[in-house]
Structure 1
Amino acid sequence: MKRAEIPQFGPLQGVRVICAGLATAGPYAATMMSDFGAEVINIESAVVPDQSRAAGGSAFKQDHRNQRALALHIPSPQGREVFYKLIKEADIFIENSKGGQWKRWGITDETMWEVNPKLVIVHVTGYGLSGDPNYVERPSWDAIGQAFGTLVSVNGTEDVPMATNPYMCDATTALYASWAALAAYIRAQKTGIGDSIDCTQFESVLRGQSGWPLKYFSEGFQPARTGGENAVGAAFKAFKCQDGFVFICFGGPGIMKVGLPFFGFEWGSELFPRAVPWVLQGTEGARVLEAKINEWCAAKTVEEAEKELNEAGIPVSPVMTYAMAEKHPHYIARETFTEWETVDGEKIKGVNVVPKLAKEPGKVWRGAPKYGMDNEDILAELGYSSEEILALYNDKVLAKE
């Protein structure tokens, strides 16, 4: 696909992004930009494709749509030459790798800024570019980021800590990487000076834990692993109905005021004192409240429980499966799922562009490209002749499916 064929839409139209990385965290940050109109070139190694293409490639199909593909052996002299030509025209460069990988190839922030002083550079790694040398160059995956970032320590059961599924560390890291990249891009447009962003998996999931780390430092608080239970408040969990589960969040003065009478209890009684805006775990109040909710839900279908609890003003949701979500009227009304065509013309369904913009909405305009699919068009735009491109294939600097 040629650059001229890329549709112009969304708030990021005209922004040029180069992404080089495997799996999810870095590439997903770039995909969020391409969903809103940025021109994204995704670079894979000419030695081996991105592993997320394997096993059906569902992650690759979801997280690499709206992009062009280049398979390039960057460490080679010819590969570095192509890379710097790409960087010269780019606004944002995103890479995810082990710390120090690009420096070993002879590519640093400084060498990129020599070519393009306005370039925003985003390094997505497990542990960061600085810190304890024993950690900087370690490989990482989603669950490793969760484990080192303390998230695993607060999830699971008393006996077994657990990571959350699927890939929430990568998604969180991608969100931090993308907003930081765009913040630096706005600044670069005003000053002409780019920036370098050091975005780690472990710090992203740590920051996403709200006030829990702060509570540890101020009170020595280390949450117990309570499985499906909330560590502090009772009735913040899934309850079994006749045909599935509903999730109830029972807390806050407003909920206590309406929720306790709904289940036959009084707020302000000895079991449920008004001084506490939720029902504390481990109390007699917690025991009797959850016993009552369990009994009540067991006599209801999910639909009945959701309707009655919602009418009472108690926060509730069915525990949705993908099959339930696909048929749910709210999902359908918001077009939360959408269909698009792969580059082979196959219809696939996945999650639509999120969030929704009123005036400059995003859209899905292309399925994830095949390995090296756009090599020729991209290099021709950089000024390479057909003969020069063929020579790069012969030298294994380029590859394609």
Structure 2
Amino acid sequence: MNARTGPLSDVRVLDLTQALAGPYCTMLLADLGADVIKIEPPAGDMSRSMGPLPVDREGCDYGGYFASVNRNKRSVVLDIKSDAGRDAFFKLAKTADAVVENAKTGVMDRAGISYERLREINPALVYAAIRGFGDPRTGASPYANWPAFDIVAQSMGGLVAVTGPQGGGGYKAGPGVGDIYPGTLAALGVVSAIHAARRTGQGQFLDVAMYDAILALCEMVVYSYSGGGIVREPTGNGTAVLCPFDIFPTCDGAVAIAAPGENHWNILCDAIGRPELVTDDRTRNVNRRVANAEFVRGILSEWTKVHSTREIVNAIGGKVPVGPVNSAKDIFEDPHPRARGMLVEVEQPGDNPPIVLAGCPIKLTGTPSGIYARAPRLGEHTDQVLADAGITIARKEQS
């Protein structure tokens, strides 16, 4: 494990999370230098068995999913349902700045490690929870006890209703936005609460509901309905308020072109050989282009579909906002992600080749973030972490 260089190198987090939302939160904190100790049950995080799986399964007890969002962490196996495991957790909590969990409402309370109990042990501790519909401590919800997954949060928070082809019933976003965005907000909440605790000496409970996070992401849905009675619907690959601001077909793929402003529109008209559109009554300003969006899209599609994606990017790149619709293969071949440290090769345990992970997008010049350690094997650091904390516990009592 390389040195933790990020700005949170003086922060310790006890990570009780599983799956995606919680581990993504603590991954961000770890990428920024925090010492994240992943407390796992004897069976391990449920995502360890999710693929793509490595060739050497004996030498590596996790797949790509776990590897991606649990890098930079240390794994400790503790059965917190047992007295010995719970007591060990309490001792670790004395040295921690924060605890993060994403269990259903009441699970940790029933396990005897509620925020209230931990606050007695460490008054400065920050306790963060990520749940489908929040925790009663911060606001009652009629759905508080409902289970939730990414697709449920995307649907209830408004994202599905505005995504997909025009006239359709809505599409979920491809990535797990319903997990990843709440996790991201929770990481910000943890850092903010630790900042306050170091100033006041008092920790606090915080939570992020997956439903709430997606609702905040879809802020346009809220103000449109409140301010104008508008129920936003799917707009396909464009938007109802800007034009052109769309995905256009090319002869070998697709390309994004955004030229809502007059300067970019004028340049684009010259590039496609239609300078008269600058003064055409249907397209002379953004409001007219929005009103005649189908005409504008038709004109541009006629140009894009007879050219390759590369030809279009070469023609207007750097002049008009444009970008190819990249597949994973395209991203790996693009010089930008590697130049920016966004494709990071990470060694894996056992007789397995390295895996490439998405890097940390938060770039700092003085205290750089980064991937400094692969994801841990189950319980890999149990002895080390417990010994450092002066905790003696029989192996059979840990699991």
Query: What TM-score, normalized to structure 1?
Result: 0.89
Check conservation: 1:256, 1:277, Cα contact below 8 A: no
The range that moved more, 244-253 or 228-237, is 228-237
Tell which has more relative contact order, 1 or 2 (C-alpha 8 A, sep 6+): 2
What is the one-letter code of the residue matched to 1:271?
A: R
The range that moved more, 221-230 or 92-101, is 221-230
2:394 is the alignment partner of 1:389: yes
Matches within 5 A, 1:104-119: 104-119=110-125
2:133 is the alignment partner of 1:124: no
Give the equivalent residue in structure 2 for 1:376: 383
Q: 1:139 aligns with which of 147, 150, 154?
A: 147
Provide structure 1 residue ranges, at least 5 long, that are not aligned to the other structure.
Answer: none
The range that moved more, 148-157 or 87-96, is 148-157
Give the equivalent residue in structure 2 for 1:39: 35
- 1:67-126 per-position Cα deviation (integer Å, ceiling 9, x unaligned): 111222212222221111111110011111112211122322211110001111111111
How far did residue 351 of structure 1 move? 1.4
Cα 1:248/1:133, change in 2 over 3 Å:
closer
How far did residue 262 of structure 1 move? 4.4
How far did residue 350 of structure 1 move? 1.4
Check conservation: 2:76, 2:378, Cα contact below 8 A: yes
Paired residues, what number? 383
Q: Secondary structure at the match of 1:295?
A: helix
Give the equivalent residue in structure 1 for 2:94: 88
Q: Secondary structure at the match of 1:270?
A: coil
Q: Secondary structure at the match of 1:211?
A: helix
What is the one-letter code of the residue matched to 2:303?
A: W
Distance across 2 between alignment mates of 1:363 and 1:146: 29
Matches within 5 A, 1:2-401: 7-47=3-43, 49-55=45-51, 56=53, 57-130=63-136, 131=139, 134-157=142-165, 158-260=167-269, 262-263=271-272, 264=274, 265-267=276-278, 269-274=280-285, 276-277=286-287, 279-280=289-290, 283=291, 285-310=292-317, 313-344=319-350, 346-385=353-392, 388-392=393-397, 397-398=398-399
The range that moved more, 264-273 or 247-256, is 264-273
How far did residue 48 of structure 1 move? 5.0
How far did residue 146 of structure 1 move? 0.9
Distance across 1 between alignment mates of 2:221 and 2:169: 20
The range that moved more, 166-175 or 183-192, is 166-175
> RMSD of the alignment, in Å?
2.1
- 1:295-316 per-position Cα deviation (integer Å, ceiling 9, x unaligned): 11122111110121225x3211
Distance across 1 between alignment mates of 2:381 and 2:322: 47
What is the one-letter code of the residue matched to 2:143?
A: Y
The range that moved more, 113-122 or 28-37, is 28-37
Provide structure 2 residue ranges, at least 5 long, that are not aligned to the other structure.
Answer: 54-62
Query: What TM-score, normalized to structure 2?
Result: 0.89
Q: Secondary structure at the match of 1:160?
A: coil
How far did residue 12 of structure 1 move? 1.0
Distance across 2 between alignment mates of 1:261 and 1:339: 43
Cα 1:307/1:132, change in 2 over 3 Å:
same
Distance across 2 between alignment mates of 1:109 and 1:335: 37
How far did residue 162 of structure 1 move? 1.4
- 1:271-298 per-position Cα deviation (integer Å, ceiling 9, x unaligned): 1354x45722xx4x32322121111112
